[in-house]
């Protein structure tokens, strides 16, 4: 059997890749510092409190990373309206038949590991597959929870109006206790998500061989030639 | 007791009648301004309004409670607080402190309610049981709910003293057998000031009442209906041990020498970081101390459901729906472990199930490798 010809396709544009890697860095930082804040290690030091600020620094890193995470999310939201079709909000619209057909297909082939006699190449998504789409929607929701609960906890110690916009969250949930519990549990869901996410990237790269892992670095995925309509001319640069 | 036909004295008049000098009165006004967190220029305004305002009729109801709020109140800093606010504010009905009893007391209360309809302040100590038709708390043959609704109908404003009236406190802890209910869930159409704490600080209580008296309106409240002046900051943010927190210096056990040195009690379960109250700045017993200063973490007594917010001596995050023992980290670790195992199994299964497809591709790749030209 001949090897199929593939075309290099720019799937993840630069802002999307930046968004992804900034998320990796900030979420890792936030989770690590978050666990330190929740359960600080015993510090063997005879220094006076005046001369130490270690816990303050941990919290400072947490808050800084949180702001970066937040503004990064805002930029991604903007890019959902100007980016390519894989970055567009339309790619995350969960109410289409196409998405749900693909969802069941992915469940059968990639989760239940069944095989098809006559695989249809169109079932392989160029961007996210539908299960991934839904998991990212869940993740956006989770990020919103972290932003709302995090800023709610931060609001009272901040003099800026931005965190104060979220100060209604605490009364809504009853008390800081509940807000903190939700903030903490959501962190664990991020970790569980990352486990599955990283595994599935490797899985697809290994089984489909079209550069899923490297796509988040260079932005390119490899798509079967017969799926790419031959364009008369490449669009000219303005 | 206020008598019906008499013109009500102003606060100033009753203070002077009590034997205090004008100097004492001015000191008292200054104290109160300081408690309320007002500028010194406001002292004159307080003094003036105390001179001109007739005493406010107050009905003080007790339901499911332990009277610790009243106890705290009569210990507030300045003697005039107890003398005037309690004895002389024309406290027309308070089970603990009124002179009358039985039918006379009830009659006096109804008198006030009728005569000062729409004018009196209703102070409530205690939660109201709604279970079993409210039979768990009856006073003078009526259920607490009935009495409360009757008294609330003509009140100008309601002050919910303490965690019982504000949040339900211990009797509302799970499983809440009597259906103890805080008052803001029973009456919706009246302005309610919530002054949580078990008990609230005496000076805070005096400050709240004095604000209503001196300015004729409610103090500025936060979204939970608590006066901002006293509940705007976490105990943690005004705690004198806070520098140790920022330094990362934590007491590990109560008999730890560092605990005595002033290290932060965060890891011993101190709830100060989640608790809004003025303990750190106003302190207790005339500013002598407060729990954290005495070496014990804050138990979060002014927060909602503080009895159900996990153990007092541990920093845990309970996961709702799981057993008492499991906190979020235990559940998270187990979930991550199970997931990692599942992923490993899936990876092996994938290689077996998709073997044909994989081998084909690998062979094609190898062939291509051999055919590389150059």
User: What confidence tier does B2 reach under pLDDT thresholds 50, 70, 90?
Assistant: very low
Q: Once rounded to an integer, what is the mean pLDDT over residues B286-290?
A: 86
Confidence of residue A2 (pLDDT cuts 50, 70, 90): low
CB atoms within 10 A of CB B11: 29
Q: Give the chain A residue nearest B265 (alpha carbons).
A: A40
> A116-130, B268-282, B288-302: which has the minimum mean pLDDT?
A116-130
* Secondary structure (H, E, C), chain A: CCCCCEEEEECCCHHHHHHHHHHHHHHHHHHHHHHHHHCCCCCCCCCCHHHCCHHHHHHHHHHHHHHHHHHHHHHHHHHHHHCCCCCCHHHHCCCCHHHHHHHHHHHHHHHCCCCCCCCCHHHCCCCCCHHHHHHHHHHHHHHHHHHHHHHHHHHCCCCCHHHHCCCCHHHHHCCHHHHHHHHHHHHHHHHHHHHHHHHHHHHHHHHHCCCHHHHHHHCEEEEEHHHCCCCCCCCCCC
Q: Cα B72 to chain center, whole Å?
A: 14
pTM equals 0.83
Sign of CA dihedral B251, B254, B260, B262: positive
pLDDT at B21 over 60: yes
Which of these, B231, B230, B246, B240, lies nearest to B290 by C-alpha position?
B240
Residue A234 has pLDDT above 70, yes or no: no
> Which one of B222, B262, B274 has the shortest CB-CB distance to A177?
B274
Asked if the model's pLDDT at residue A198 lies above 80, the reply is: yes
Percent of chain A with pLDDT over 90: 41
Least Cα distance to B126 among B173, B57, B63 occurs for B63
Q: Which helix or strand (DSSP H or E) is residue B151 part of?
A: helix B144-153
Nearest CA in chain B to A44: B249
Q: Which residues neighbour B261 within 8 Å (Cβ) at sequence distance 6 or greater?
A: none
Give residue B366's Cα distance to chain centre: 72
Most confident of A108-122, B120-134, B307-321: B120-134
CA of A175 vs chain B CAs: smallest distance (Å):
6
Task: State the DSSP code for B253.
Answer: S
Q: What is the CATH number that goes with domain B235-308?
A: 4.10.480.10
Return residues 119-178 of B near A (CB < 8 Å): none
10 Å CB burial of residue A78 (0-12, 13-18, 19+) is exposed
Residue of B227, B158, B155 lying closest to B197 (CA atoms): B227
Give the phi and the psi of residue B17 in degrees, each rounded to 5: -60, -30
Among B127, B273, B244, B270, residue whose Cα is nearest residue B194: B127
Q: For residues B6 and A111, which has the higher predicted lDDT (pLDDT)?
A: A111
Q: What tokens appear for B201 in the block?
A: 């600080």
- Residue B318, chain A, CB below 8 Å: the answer is yes
The Cα A102–Cα A104 span in angstroms is 6
Q: What's the CA gap between A19 and A75, in Å, rounded?
A: 8
Residues of chain B found within 8 Å of residue A56, distances taken between Cβ atoms: 246-248
Q: Which helix (H) or strand (E) holds B46?
A: helix B43-52
How much is the average pLDDT of A193-209?
90
Indicate if B235-308 has the same CATH topology as B11-231.
Answer: no
Task: Supply the pLDDT for residue B1.
Answer: 42
* Test mutation, A171, A181, A196, A203, chain B, max B CBs within 10 A: A181
Whether residues B248 and A171 touch (CB distance < 8 A) is answered with: no
CA A175-A180-A183 angle, 5° bins: 130
pLDDT at B34: 81
Which two tokens mark B256? 């730890």
Residue among B234, B262, B303 whose CB faces A156 most closely:
B234
From the list B224, B309, B332, the residue facing A171 with the nearest CB is B224
Q: Tell me the longest C-alpha to C-alpha distance in chain A.
A: 74
Are residues B354 and A157, on separate chains, in Cβ contact within 8 Å?
no
Q: Which tokens go with B362?
A: 């690998």
ipTM score for this prediction: 0.81
**Higher per-residue pLDDT: A127 or B183:** B183
Mean pLDDT of the region B82-109: 68
Please name the residues between 235 and 254 in chain B that touch chain A, using a CB distance below 8 Å: 237, 243-250, 252
Sign of the CA dihedral with B326 first, then B329, B333, and B339 last: positive
Residue with more model confidence, B211 or B80: B211
For the domain made up of B11-231, the CATH class stated in words is: alpha beta
Distance between CA atoms of B122 and B62, rounded to whole angstroms?
11
pLDDT one-digit tens code per residue, B159-169: 999 999 999 89
Residues in chain B within 8 Å Cβ distance of A115: 353-354, 356-357
More confident residue, A37 or B97: A37
Q: DSSP secondary-structure letter at B308?
A: G
Please name which of B146, B141, B148 lies closest in space to residue B165, comparing C-alpha atoms: B148
What pLDDT is recorded for position A89?
87
Task: Name the more confident of A58 and A228.
Answer: A58
Choose among B283, B287, B275: nearest CA to B235. B275
Q: Do residues B180 and B127 touch, judged by C-beta distance below 8 A?
A: yes
pLDDT surpasses 90 at B361 = no
Residue A9's φ and ψ, nearest 5 degrees, are -120, 130
> What angle, 0 to 180 degrees and rounded to 10, lies between the N-to-C axes of helices A130-155 and A176-208?
150
Q: Where are the domains of chain B?
A: 11-231, 235-308, 332-370
B157-161 β-sheet, strand order:
B91-94, B58-62, B121-125, B157-161, B192-195
DSSP β-ladder status, B138-139 and B192-195 = unpaired
* Number of neighbours of residue A106 by Cβ within 10 angstroms: 20
Residue B334 contacts A, CB cutoff 8 Å? no
Give me the half-sphere count of Cα atoms (radius 13 Å) on the Cβ side of residue B257: 1
Closest-CA distance, B266 to chain A, in angstroms, reads 9
Is the Cα dihedral A158, A162, A164, A168 positive or negative? negative
Instruction: Walk me through the domains of chain A, giving residue ranges and CATH numbers.
Output: 14-38+55-227 (1.20.950.20)
Matching residue, tokens 């709610």: A152
Residue numbers in B near A168 (CB within 8 A)? 223
Contact B170, B204 (CB under 8 A): no
- A45 vs A56, B241, B248, CA distance in Å? 15, 17, 10
Backbone angles phi, psi at B121, to 5 degrees: -100, 130
Among A49, A51, A185, whose Cβ lies nearest the Cβ of B328?
A185
Closest A-chain CA to B349 = A113
What pLDDT is stored for residue B324 in this prediction? Answer: 56
Chain B residues lying within 8 Å of A191, measured CB to CB: 332, 336
Nearest CA in chain A to B275: A176
Question: Least CA distance to A179: which residue of chain B?
Answer: B274
Interacting residues of A177 by C-beta distance below 8 A, sequence separation 6+: B271, B274, B300, B303, B304, B305, B309, B310
Average pLDDT value for residue range B197-220: 86
In the structure encoding, which two tokens stand for residue B353, read together?
A: 């199930």
Name the percent of chain B lying above pLDDT 70.
89
Contacts of B354 in chain A (CB under 8 A): 113, 115, 207
Q: Which residue has the higher pLDDT, A118 or B83?
A: A118
Predicted local confidence at residue B321, as pLDDT: 63
């Amino acid at each position: 059997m001949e090897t199929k010809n593939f075309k290099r396709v720019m799937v993840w544009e630069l802002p999307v890749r930046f968004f992804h890697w900034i998320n990796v860095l900030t979420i890792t930082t936030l989770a690590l510092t978050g666990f330190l804040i929740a359960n600080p290690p015993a510090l063997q030091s005879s220094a006076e409190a005046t001369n130490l600020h270690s816990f303050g620094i941990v919290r400072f890193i947490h808050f800084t990373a949180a702001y970066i995470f937040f503004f990064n999310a805002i930029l991604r939201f903007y890019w959902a309206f100007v980016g390519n079709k894989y970055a567009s909000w339309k790619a995350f619209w969960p109410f289409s038949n196409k998405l749900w057909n693909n969802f069941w297909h992915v469940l059968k082939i990639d989760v239940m590991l069944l095989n098809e006699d006559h695989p249809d190449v169109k079932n392989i998504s160029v961007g996210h597959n539908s299960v991934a789409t839904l998991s990212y929607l869940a993740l956006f929701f989770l990020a919103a929870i972290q932003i709302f609960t995090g800023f709610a906890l931060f609001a009272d110690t901040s003099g800026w109006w931005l965190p104060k916009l979220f100060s209604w969250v605490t009364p809504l949930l009853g008390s800081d206790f509940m807000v903190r519990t939700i903030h903490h549990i959501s962190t664990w869901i991020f970790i569980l998500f990352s486990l599955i996410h990283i595994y599935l990237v490797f899985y697809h790269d290994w089984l489909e061989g079209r550069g899923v892992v490297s796509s988040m670095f260079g932005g390119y995925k490899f798509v079967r030639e017969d799926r790419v309509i031959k364009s008369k001319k490449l669009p000219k640069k303005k | 007791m206020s008598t019906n036909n008499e013109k009500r004295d102003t606060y100033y008049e009753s203070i002077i009648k009590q034997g205090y000098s004008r100097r004492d009165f001015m000191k008292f006004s200054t104290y109160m301004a300081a408690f309320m967190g007002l500028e010194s220029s406001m002292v004159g305004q307080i003094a003036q309004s105390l001179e001109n305002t007739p005493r406010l009729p107050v009905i003080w109801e007790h339901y499911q409670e332990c009277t610790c709020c009243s106890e705290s109140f009569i210990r507030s800093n300045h003697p005039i607080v107890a003398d005037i606010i309690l004895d002389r504010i024309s406290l027309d009905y308070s089970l603990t402190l009124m002179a009358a009893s039985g039918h006379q007391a009830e009659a006096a209360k109804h008198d006030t309610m009728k005569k000062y309809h729409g004018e009196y302040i209703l102070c409530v100590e205690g939660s109201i049981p709604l279970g079993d038709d409210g039979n768990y708390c009856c006073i003078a043959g009526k259920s607490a709910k009935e009495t409360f609704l009757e008294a609330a109908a003509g009140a100008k404003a309601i002050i919910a003293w303490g965690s019982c009236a504000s949040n339900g406190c211990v009797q509302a802890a799970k499983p809440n057998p009597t259906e103890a209910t805080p008052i803001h869930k029973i009456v919706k159409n009246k302005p309610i000031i919530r002054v949580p704490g078990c008990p609230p600080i005496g000076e805070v209580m005096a400050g709240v009442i004095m604000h209503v008296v001196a300015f004729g309106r409610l103090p500025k409240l936060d979204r939970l209906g608590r006066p901002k002046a006293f509940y705007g900051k976490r105990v943690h943010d005004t705690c004198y041990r806070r520098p140790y927190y920022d330094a990362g210096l934590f007491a590990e056990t109560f008999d730890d020498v560092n605990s005595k040195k002033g290290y932060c009690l965060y890891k011993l379960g101190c709830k100060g970081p989640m608790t809004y109250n003025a303990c750190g700045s106003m302190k207790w017993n005339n500013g002598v101390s407060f729990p954290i200063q005495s070496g014990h973490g804050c138990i979060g007594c002014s927060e909602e459901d503080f009895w159900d917010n996990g153990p007092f001596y541990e920093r845990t995050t309970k996961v709702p729906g799981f057993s008492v023992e499991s906190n979020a980290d235990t559940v998270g670790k187990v979930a991550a472990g199970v997931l990692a195992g599942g992923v490993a199994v899936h990876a092996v299964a994938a290689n077996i199930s998709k073997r044909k497809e994989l081998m084909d591709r690998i062979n094609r790749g190898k062939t291509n490798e051999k055919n590389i030209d150059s």
